[in-house]
Structures are given as C-alpha cells and as structure tokens.
A and B are shown apart, each in its own frame.
Chain A
Amino acid sequence: MMQLNTVKTMTSAAQAMYAMLQYTDKKEFSLSEIMGYSSHAFRMNIHPESVSPAGPTMFAPYELVSQNLKTLGVYTLTKSEFTPLSNKDLADTIRMAEARIDTGVPIISWDLFSPEFGLIYGYDHEQQVFYAKDMKKDGIINYSELNERASSHLFLCGFFESVPKRTPIMFRDALKKIIEHGDCKSPFAPYEYKHGLAGYDAWIQAFQTRKIDAFGNAYNMAVVADARKHATHFLTILSENWGTSTKLDQQVIDGLTEAKEFYSKVASYFDQLGKMFPFPQGGEPNDLAISQKAIELLQHAYEWERKGMEVFRRLESLLEHYADDNYMTPYRIKRTFEFAGVKHFAQPDQIESDAEKQMYELMKRDNSIVSRINNIKLFAYKSGQTGDEEKISYVVARPVSFKPYNLPNDMQYFKKEHNYAAIRVKMKEKKQGYETLKNWMLQQGIEENSNTYTIKFIRPPQHQTTEEDVEVYVPINENSGR
C-alpha cells in the first residue's frame, strides 16, 4: 500500500482550503475528502514541451479556490485584482480583509511568500501589517507590500458563510467540476497547456520531443502522484460510508468501488513514475530509454483514468436522482444585508425588465462604490402606493463589505437586519421558488412584513453548464408562524 500523508498535500490550493476549514463548522473533513470534493485530487495540467512547474496552478485562483469551496457549501467573498491598486483601492481591500478576518476565519491568498496558496490569519492596523503563512514561511506582510506582489496579482478569498450540504449533493457538484476538468473544459485555462485526460497526450508528447524541464516534470509527477493517492482514499471513504437504503444507493456504491479500483491503479503508476523522476532533482527525462519507459507507464495510467472518468459520468447521472435540500426548500433566517446602489420606481408589470436594465447600468459604474463585492448582484423590492397607482420601488445594488465612503449623489447605502423567510433556487426556477416560498409561509402562518425590502441575492454559476443561484429573502414578522 502506498503511503499517504493525511495532513499534507502538494496541492497548495487544497492545503489552504483544509487549513482554512479548521476554523469553521466543516473542520471534520479529512484532507483527502477536501482534495476529492474540491476536484484537486483529479486534476492535471501539462505543457506539451516543457512540462512546466507552473502547470498545476495555471488557472484563475477564483476558479481553483472560490468556486471549489462552493462544492463543500462554503461561500466566500473574493477579490482578485491586478496590482498596483490605487491607494483608495488598497485601503478598501484592507477593510475587506479586516471584515473577513473578523468572522474568525483566515483568508486564502496567493503568492504571499512563494507562488503557492496560503492564509492571512491576522491584521494589525496600528503596525499596518498582516499575519500570513504559506508553505515557505509564517511571517508578516506590510500593508504596502500588497501593492508589490511579485506576480502582480492580488487574490483574497474570505469566508462569508457555511451552509450544510448532504454528501450526495457535494459529490454531485464535485463530479461536475471533475468531469469538466477531465474533458479539458476548465475555464480560464491557458492556451498551450492541456488539462484533464488531454494532459496525458501532452505529457507523452513531451517525452517524445525530449526537451523537458527536468525540475518541472518532477514537480508535476509529485503533484499528480500525491493527488491520485488522495483520490483513491477519497473514493474509499465515500464507498465505505455511503448509506445503503435504496437500490440507487447500491448502484452508487458499486460505481464508487469500481472508480476506487481504477484510481488506485492510476496512483500506483504515478508512484512508479515519481520514483523515476524524484522531486526536486528530477532524474533524466530526456534520456531516450528512460523517456520510452515513462511513455509506457503514462499510457497505462491513462487507460485506467479514462475508465475512471467513464464511471464518473455514470455516477453523475445517478446522483441527479438525489434530492437537493439546498434548493427549493424554504427556511427562516435572521440576517443582516449591507448594500449600496441606486433606487428606482417601476410599474408591477415592467419591474423585471426595468430592474435588469438598471442593474446593467449600475454594473458599468459600480467602481464608485468602495467596498463593493464584485459578481454578486442584489435587488431589493418594496411595493407601495403613490397616489392611485401601485408602484414598486426597487434598488439595484452590490453587497458591500463595509459602509462605503464618497458614494455618488444618486447612490445610497443600506443596512437591513431582519428576520426573513428564505429560499434558494436556480435562475430559471425563480417563479416556482417565489410560489413555493409563499405557500410555505401560508402553511406556517408566517406573516410578511411589507414595510421593508424583499431581497434577491444573485450569485454567479459554479460552472459553465449551470445557471446563477438566486436567493430570495422575504421579510417577516418575528413573532408570526409556528
């Protein structure tokens, strides 16, 4: 049995996620489960000539970290910008970081002390420093150094909320990402590199051309070998713990057992390859005899991984039959919304199209909202009477991290703390969601409070084939309902 390190992985994105989750209600997940659910256990990204060491992280950090955390039910607020930022932007970023750390959970960041993912776990406004830790070092970063990033890019992924998610739903969402990657369709992928199953072709091509960067090759071998070990362990954990109540469950378990076997074979081939090209020294990948042996082993590994992907496609279809409690299920919650935007009025029959148009206009100029959270849209609605007409007043806004300063004259800041009846749906099921929520409120005897805003919160899709998530919050009278 190959040795597996249960607390350390070579994939820094997953290591950072694992370290961050220790501060949340999801600290019970093992590293292998995080590697699996976040899709990192199943990834590969290979340059077809050099097999560059930049391969594993050559994607948008938003995609590698923020989007994969959603699979685990962890929502984040992400800032991803080029440096240098203006002084105003920098101050804004520091306040955003402050608000995120105040939740009690560190921020995942990139290129703190080396081009890997790490954590920012403290701030000190008087000294003007952050406390940060990555694979290289645990130390201090001056606020001014945020603008002097070696890679000219600042990435901060801060904790927003954690939502409970059942295993079949997490696994289903993970598979979507895993299959997307396997099919070489991960977004924000660099043009020359090949990822997923296509990575094998690229690797073999590199061994045929024999102009390999020995260091990069050894690094990729080590990362993939480590990843596939975690993959095997993840699938083992799933298959051993999957509840067997129904025929569907049994089909899933059969699939998991099959996949586990396949990935265990992949892992053993990469174990051999790792010994041929030890990290960091690298061995001799451009030697003719050695490269031919490597090609042979890669071809075997490819066959098993291809079989594994087929099982995953089958499993994805099976998993669609499990009910997703996170959607179309009403619940009560007390929440505070902070947002900034522009107020408008519309007739009830025109509100949909008007609001969309106004949101678009807002997005063009929302740079002026300091502390705004990009890519989440917020609508707030309140119906009222003006004279004889029924008109709806609405706000198109961005959620904000803290109270913005210097808002343009037509924009306002809102802070609403309230009890809400809430529901989460996919964009195309919006109408059905409203109805389900209203019916549930009726059944429960919950009264709507129509003196304040109904909030609609829109998140971007987790991957390309799905739609935006819409969360609707209807304000209610606290003492109503059972």
Chain B
Amino acid sequence: MTLTNEEADLKCMGEAELIEIARTGNNDAFGELVRRYRSKAMNWAQMLAKDNNLAEDIVQEAFIKAFMHMGTLIDARRFQAWLRTIVRNQAMMDLRRGRLYKGEQLFSHLETNYTSNETINFHDIDHILYHLTQRVNSNIHLQYGNPERLIMQKEMLEGLHDLLNCLTKQERKVFEAYFFQQISPKEIAGLFGMSMNNIYTTLSRSRIKVKRERARIYLRGYLKEQLGQDNSKRKVLATPISM
C-alpha cells in the first residue's frame, strides 16, 4: 500500500514509543506493532496453504540423486554404510502405509527454537540442509505429520550431513554442480515460500518509490493484456455489514 507520512514514521519508531501511541487508541500504531511481532515469531513457510511436506521431499530427493550420481563417479566404499541407510530410508518412506518403526521415540526433548529465517543462502548446500533439518525438527516438535515418517526423514538428513562432511573439496564441487542441476536456488526458495531478497539493502525512500511506480506502470499494461476480453469486466457485491 502507499504509505502516508505518518505510516512511514511509524515504521521507523522504536517499540516502546509505538506501544505508547497504541495505548491512545491509534489504530495504525496497533497495526505496526502486530506486524513487527508477527515477523519476529512466525515460521513463515508453514503459513502457506500448500501440500504438506512436498517442499522437503523435493529438495531431499535432489540431495539423494546427487549422492547416487557421486557413487557412480568415485570409490563409494567409504560411504557404503551411510549410503545403505539412506537408500533403505528412502524406500521405507515411499511406503504409503508405514509399519511401526521399532524402538524409536519422538525426539520430544529437542527444543528447537525455529524462528523467522530471513538469512538463508539458497546457494549454500549446508545452509539448505540445515534448513531442512530445522523444518523436520519443527514438525516433530509440533507433532505435525506422521511421526514415523518424520523420524525417518530426520535420520536421512543426518546421514546426508555426515556424507557431505566426508567429501573432498573437489568431490564437493562436483556434488554441488549436480545438486543444482536438479533444482535451482530460486526454485528451492520458491518451494519454501521465501523470496530471494535475503540481503538487506538501504534504498532511499524516493528510490523505492520510483522503482515501485515503474513496476506499477508495467503491471497495468501486462494485466490488461492478461485479462484479455474480460479487461473491462466489473462486479461489485452489496457492501458488507459493519466489520
């Protein structure tokens, strides 16, 4: 939305001052407070109405494919034990109706503080793997999803982490190249519902305004074209009752 001067000022205000203004009944201050608290606390990726676990599955598969590929290039004997576990876990996870996973309990003692993650570098494999692990831990903590499946996923990710650490520098480069062939950093970011704008830049307010204005003008023409023969269609329902 286009910010008024007052709204822009609120964005720069400290929390204590904002609270004082909110206490006088200022709705905008209230709004700004809520937004700030929200962005601090929310596990953003989980807010989307998307298919559960699909994002993790896809990225995980890319890791596994990359390791399989490595296995054909190098002497995989030193990885064999891990590889076997990974292949076995992958096969078990494909089973739609999982049997009870013997002897395991939920990792309920793992209190992972999974907060908003605006600093993920989607070009960094370790970072991506770490992020996947966080998501699974978070799901386990919240008991969201099939428990057996979550544990298998967690084991799998730990195995992948160990394997990565065993690669030589050269092997790692090959691995990364193959991994990103499967799925690009931009796609990963999209799957996790995050934008690629991880770097905080201090653009001046006027530069942002100009940038936005140009984007809007382009958008207007683009939308008109996309809407095709419906581009002057209009429908307004009766005004809703008081909110």
| Residue B50 is within 8 A (CB to CB) of chain A in the complex | yes
User: B35 contacts A151, CB within 8 Å?
Assistant: yes
The docked-state distance in angstroms from the alpha carbon of A18 to that of B240 is: 10
| Residue B202 is within 8 A (CB to CB) of chain A in the complex | no
Q: Which of B58, B230, B237: most chain A CB closer than 10 A?
A: B237
| Residue B242 is within 8 A (CB to CB) of chain A in the complex | yes
| Residue B184 is within 8 A (CB to CB) of chain A in the complex | no
The docked-state distance in angstroms from the alpha carbon of A7 to that of B58 is: 47
> Considering only CB atoms, which chain B residue lies closest to A105 in the complex?
B237
User: B49 contacts A80, CB within 8 Å?
Assistant: yes
Question: Which of A18, A81, A118, A363 meets B193, CB within 8 Å?
Answer: A81
Question: Which of B19, B38, B49, B234 meets A66, CB within 8 Å?
Answer: B49
| Residue A351 is within 8 A (CB to CB) of chain B in the complex | no
Closest CB of chain A to B189's CB: distance in Å? 10
User: B33 contacts A375, CB within 8 Å?
Assistant: no
Question: Which of A79, A114, A128, A149 meets B220, CB within 8 Å?
Answer: A128
Q: Which of A307-348 contact B (CB under 8 A)?
A: none
| Residue A82 is within 8 A (CB to CB) of chain B in the complex | yes
User: B46 contacts A60, CB within 8 Å?
Assistant: yes
User: B235 contacts A151, CB within 8 Å?
Assistant: no
**Which of chain A's residues have a CB closer than 8 A to the CB of B22?**
53, 215, 280
Closest CB of chain B to A414's CB: distance in Å? 21
The docked-state distance in angstroms from the alpha carbon of A90 to that of B27 is: 29
Given A188-B43, A375-B51, do A121 and B236 touch, yes or no (CB 8 Å)? yes
Closest CB of chain B to A311's CB: distance in Å? 25
Chain A positions 81 through 107: 1 when the CB is less than 8 Å from some CB of chain B, otherwise 0: 110100110110011001001101110
**Which of chain A's residues have a CB closer than 8 A to the CB of B240?**
19-20, 22, 106, 119, 121, 133
User: B227 contacts A190, CB within 8 Å?
Assistant: no
User: A145 contacts B38, CB within 8 Å?
Assistant: no
| Residue A78 is within 8 A (CB to CB) of chain B in the complex | yes
The docked-state distance in angstroms from the alpha carbon of A188 to that of B28 is: 26
Q: Which of A110-148 contact B (CB under 8 A)?
A: 113-115, 118-119, 121-126, 128, 131, 133-136, 138, 141-145, 147-148
Q: Which of A172-208 contact B (CB under 8 A)?
A: 185, 187-193
Using a CB–CB distance below 8 Å, which chain A residues touch chain B? 7-8, 12, 15-16, 18-20, 22-23, 47, 50, 52-54, 57-58, 60-62, 66, 78-82, 84, 87-88, 90-91, 94-95, 98, 101-102, 104-106, 113-115, 118-119, 121-126, 128, 131, 133-136, 138, 141-145, 147-153, 185, 187-193, 213-216, 218-219, 280-282, 356, 363-364, 367, 374-375, 460, 464
Can you report 28 A-B residue pairs in the complex whose CB atoms are below 8 A from each other?
A7-B242, A19-B241, A19-B243, A53-B22, A54-B33, A54-B38, A58-B42, A62-B49, A78-B49, A87-B223, A91-B223, A94-B223, A98-B235, A114-B30, A114-B31, A122-B237, A123-B233, A128-B223, A135-B243, A138-B239, A150-B35, A151-B35, A185-B143, A188-B43, A214-B23, A280-B22, A363-B51, A460-B51
